[in-house]
């Protein structure tokens, strides 16, 4: 490989959330929480950022911008971001969008929260599928808006599918205004098929819903998974669609917090621009453009490395924790594992693995509904790091 994904990068002293913020984020506690491992002894398999060094092409772009010596107020005033993202989407997904529809945000979660405040009234509701990323619920709560959910169907092998009868039942409720759709799905790793997306699109049109398509994980995919299909390719002329994309997960630049928000509706776009202006962080902006224009080789090798990490995980669990059910992961670098055969219902798995294994993970408390005894494991790390974490987890369970 051209890039070294086996490299262990020292993140200490960088104020990394993964290392410094786990007590507050995972356990809702402060430093008074007593755990039998020191901070630097934990294996961190939680939160969705990678343990891989950023692509050197991205780092070079940041250095080049720093060398200009001034980091003043910056706006997205030229076509470079549009050219980069549109070429990326056209080449990979055969997806095109209007240049005037592209806006930027300091992250997708803040964008979702803003959009809720702009379009959902106090007596209206938001709908999304579960299990769900907790920040969907947080965005609703912060705006004082109620949400309802439609549970995905999980089979014996951990494969998830959409319950279309239930989804339509929820969409048909007169007070449901917005559908937040995770495409591909986090945390289950499902890549939705064209047939599934077409069914969803028909329901969205039928009930005239606003829809946010969160596509932040679309670039991370298994080699044998179908290509990502943006919902905008199915709802080609639907005015109430907002598509959210970012280079943050794909290229491990989440801390730079620039996301691309594609808004078709003129009124909503005007409202967004009025409140959010057109400003960008100068370093974030250059990193995002470099990712889309110069990062394809790095991403290709990253996906190949992740494929082998998932294979390693499958083989390890088959030998050491055979009762666990690993959902078939078509996308993301996050494994979704069912440990119900090893733990009692409502047992605190996050605390168990922290105390007994020295491994930090995210379990049901991080997700909305239908995640009891489920664990999300971040596999975007060097193989040796992954092996150490899994060995610790297996030893803690088996002993």
How many Cβ atoms from other residues are within 10 Å of residue 346's Cβ? 9
Report whether 288 contacts 247 (CB < 8 A). yes
> CB-based burial of residue 38 (10 Å sphere; 0-12 exposed, 13-18 middle, 19+ buried)?
exposed
- Residue 135's pLDDT is 94
- What does the pLDDT read at residue 138? 96
What pLDDT, on a 0 to 100 scale, did the predictor assign at position 371? 87
- pLDDT tens, 238-276? 999 999 999 999 999 999 999 999 999 999 999 999 998
Rounded to a whole number, what is the distance in angstroms from the first to the last CA of the chain? 38
Please tell me the predicted confidence (pLDDT) of residue 41.
96
Query: In this structure, are residues 18 and 46 in contact, taking their beta carbons and an 8 Å threshold?
Result: yes
Q: By percentage, how much of the chain surpasses pLDDT 70? A: 100
- Among residues 6, 21, 50, the alpha carbon closest in space to that of 253 is found at 50
pTM (two decimals): 0.96
Structure tokens at 127: 């709908």
- The confidence band for 75, taking pLDDT boundaries of 50, 70 and 90, is very high
- pLDDT at residue 327 above 90? yes
pLDDT of residue 370 exceeding 90:
no
Instruction: State the chain's mean pLDDT as an integer.
Output: 96
Asked if residue 171 has pLDDT above 90, the reply is yes
Check pLDDT > 90 for residue 160. yes
User: What is the mean predicted confidence (pLDDT) over 307-334?
Assistant: 97
- Contact (Cβ atoms closer than 8 angstroms) between residue 397 and residue 389: no
Distance (Å) of CA 319 to CA 113, 353, 390, 391, 393: 43, 19, 12, 11, 13
């Amino acid at each position: 490989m051209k890039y070294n994904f086996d490299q262990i990068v020292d993140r200490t002293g960088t104020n990394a959330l993964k290392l410094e913020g786990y007590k507050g984020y995972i356990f809702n506690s402060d430093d008074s929480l007593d755990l039998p491992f020191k901070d630097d002894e934990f294996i961190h398999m939680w939160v969705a950022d990678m343990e891989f060094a950023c692509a050197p092409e991205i780092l070079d772009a940041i250095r080049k911008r720093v060398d200009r010596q001034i980091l003043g107020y910056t706006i997205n005033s030229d076509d470079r971001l549009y050219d980069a993202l549109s070429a990326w989407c056209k080449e990979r997904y055969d997806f095109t969008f209007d240049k005037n529809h592209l806006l930027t945000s300091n992250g997708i979660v803040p964008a979702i929260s803003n959009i809720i405040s702009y379009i959902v009234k106090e007596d209206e509701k938001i709908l999304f599928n579960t299990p769900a990323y907790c920040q969907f619920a947080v965005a609703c709560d912060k705006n004082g808006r109620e949400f309802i959910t439609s549970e995905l169907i999980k089979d014996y092998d951990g494969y998830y599918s959409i319950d279309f009868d239930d989804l339509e039942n929820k969409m048909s409720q007169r007070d449901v205004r917005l559908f937040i759709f995770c495409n591909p799905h986090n945390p289950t790793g499902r890549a939705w098929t064209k047939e599934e997306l077409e069914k969803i699109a028909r329901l969205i049109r039928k009930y005239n819903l606003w829809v946010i398509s969160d596509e932040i994980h679309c670039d991370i995919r298994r080699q044998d998974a179908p290509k990502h299909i943006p919902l905008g390719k199915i709802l080609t002329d639907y005015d109430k669609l907002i598509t959210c994309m970012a280079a943050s997960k794909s290229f491990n630049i989440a801390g730079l917090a620039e996301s691309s928000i594609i808004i078709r509706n003129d009124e909503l776009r005007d409202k967004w621009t009025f409140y959010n202006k057109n400003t960008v962080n100068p370093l974030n902006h250059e990193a995002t453009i470099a990712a889309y224009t110069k990062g394809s080789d790095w991403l290709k090798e990253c996906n190949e490395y992740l494929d082998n990490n998932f294979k390693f995980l499958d083989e390890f669990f088959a030998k050491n924790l055979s009762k666990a059910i690993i959902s078939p992961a078509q996308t993301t670098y996050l494994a979704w594992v069912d440990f119900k055969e090893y733990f009692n219902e409502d047992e605190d798995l996050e605390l168990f693995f922290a105390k007994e294994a020295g491994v930090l993970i995210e379990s049901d408390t991080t997700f909305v509904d239908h995640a009891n005894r489920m664990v999300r494991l971040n596999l975007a790390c060097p193989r040796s790091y992954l092996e150490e974490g899994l060995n610790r987890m297996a030893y803690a369970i088996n002993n």
